[in-house]
Amino acid sequence: MAAPEGLFVLEGRPTAQLIADQLREQIVQGIFRPGEQINESVLASQLRTSRGPVREALQRLSQEGILVSRRNRGVFVLELSADDVREIYAVREAVESTAADALLDGGQEQVKDTCRILRTVISDMAKQVAVSDWQAIAPLDMQFHTSFVAGAGNTRLIRIYETLAAESRMCILNLAVAYPRIDDLVQEHQNILDLLEKGDREELHKAITQHMQKAVEDLTAARGDKEIIA
Amino acid sequence: MAAPEGLFVLEGRPTAQLIADQLREQIVQGIFRPGEQINESVLASQLRTSRGPVREALQRLSQEGILVSRRNRGVFVLELSADDVREIYAVREAVESTAADALLDGGQEQVKDTCRILRTVISDMAKQVAVSDWQAIAPLDMQFHTSFVAGAGNTRLIRIYETLAAESRMCILNLAVAYPRIDDLVQEHQNILDLLEKGDREELHKAITQHMQKAVEDLTAARGDKEIIA
DNA sequence: ACATCGCCTATTGTTGACAATCTACAGATC
DNA sequence: GATCTGTAGATTGTCAACAATAGGCGATGT
């Protein structure tokens, strides 16, 4: 039978997973602000479920690092410092560089498939830039990079990058006006795509490094060094 | 399930954390074999606790990737394929290379502190090699690399590497005679330490890459390409 | 006024019972 | 004999009640 997709409130299968995904999305969208407390009981009754699955989901997100749990005090949305930003983007650079190598070593077919996906993402991105829809740009930005890493086909790399993507979106959303050089945005991603397609390993690595460095500069520019961003 | 004599009744505060840590240790030591099922209820009664904390610990290890959970069927110790080995060591190479750069960029002091730690590890390793105590060598091998990464001071990198270290130990332990070139072992690590101390970035990267490549060759040599190692 | 002690509340941590669901097996049916 | 079906058992998934604990706040004594 054709499976009719159920609604978001409560589905049959992996409840904790659904809660975690939903919550992560709400956090990176800024519905829960950094430093804000999340109460197990309250969330459970809101979701019409018990504390068990909620607790499981919260624990999951804590392990991912976007929540911090203090014993008998509560769980709170992560607050990011400038140092955190530097850490995150340093690791992102490492992961994406590795993915780039794996892609280029993986054969023409793999590169081609990945590029096809990346092209559509850039296309969507250009549309949203044209109408200045920042809300839609951040997810697309991350989708580009996530797809890039996914193209390498290393499941561990992908799993690592998922957490980094969530943290990056938290960085971006907490920066109010997130993209100072919004016109460069599409161009930069297009450049990465071109270099991947061309197979220019050297320049691709440089482009990734620069992309990350610029991001760190933008994200840390307005704030003091050790200050909390959010 | 085999009676695990190594598990102690737990006290103190973060119960689930303790269970997870102990269980992880038991798994990388091979007390729980790959593919073996781990039963929540049984484990709970062995630990004189309830299913809640045990479940939490198992979920944590599942997220780390050293357990796999199948709904309503049970949780099982991860079985590693040759592809898994390649994945793990590819990511390890990326992480350690990043750590190397961060170390060298972090100043003389940081490098010096790290080298001091690494020296003692190598010293211990040499002792165990001398008496051919393989059981003790694997942890020291991982301790070297974990300390190396820790020296970079990037908490996210460290967290990522902890999981990789656990998976690596699973690779090693499942290979029976794990170190074909046991005499080279100390030498290779010493070489990495020397290059770090010298600050030779180029050669250090090469050494790390070679170290990982050799490991993959050793670990996949005896088995078919897609075969399960354990 | 100030420091100290002890209660109070909010929140997580823990527990045992109960429900849902998957697999395997045995029996019926063709 | 092969295949379908329904039932049993094992295991996780869910739940609500209960316990422990950390930190706040006020009473109390000086």
3 state SS for A152-179: CCCHHHHHHHHHHHHHHHHHHHCCCCCC
Which 88-127 residues of chain A touch chain B by CB within 8 A?
Answer: 88, 90-91, 93-95, 97-98, 102
pLDDT given at position B125:
94
Q: Which two tokens stand for residue A22?
A: 């939903």
For residue B45, give every residue at least 6 positions away whose Cβ sits within 8 Å of its Cβ, in sequence order, or none.
none
For the cut 70, the answer to whether the pLDDT of residue B228 exceeds it is: no
| Cβ of residue A65 closer than 8 Å to a chain B Cβ | yes
Q: What is the pLDDT of residue A13?
A: 58
> Does the pLDDT value for residue A26 go beyond 70?
yes
Q: Give, in Å, how far the C1' of D25 lies from the CA of B106.
A: 47
- The larger pLDDT score, comparing residue B12 to residue B164, is at B164
Instruction: For chain B, say whether A164 makes contact (Cβ under 8 Å).
Output: yes
Indicate the length of chain A as a whole number.
230
Q: Residue A12 pLDDT > 70, yes or no?
A: no
What pLDDT shows up at residue B223? 58
pTM for this one? Answer: 0.88
Q: Which residues contact A106 (CB under 8 A, 6 or more apart)?
A: A152, A153
For the stretch A52-66, pLDDT in tens is: 999 999 999 999 999
Asked whether A174 and A34 are in contact (CB, 8 A), the reply is: yes
Give yes or no for residue B203 having a pLDDT over 90: yes
**From the CA of A72, how many Å to the C1' of D20?**
9
A46 touches strand C (CB under 7 A): no
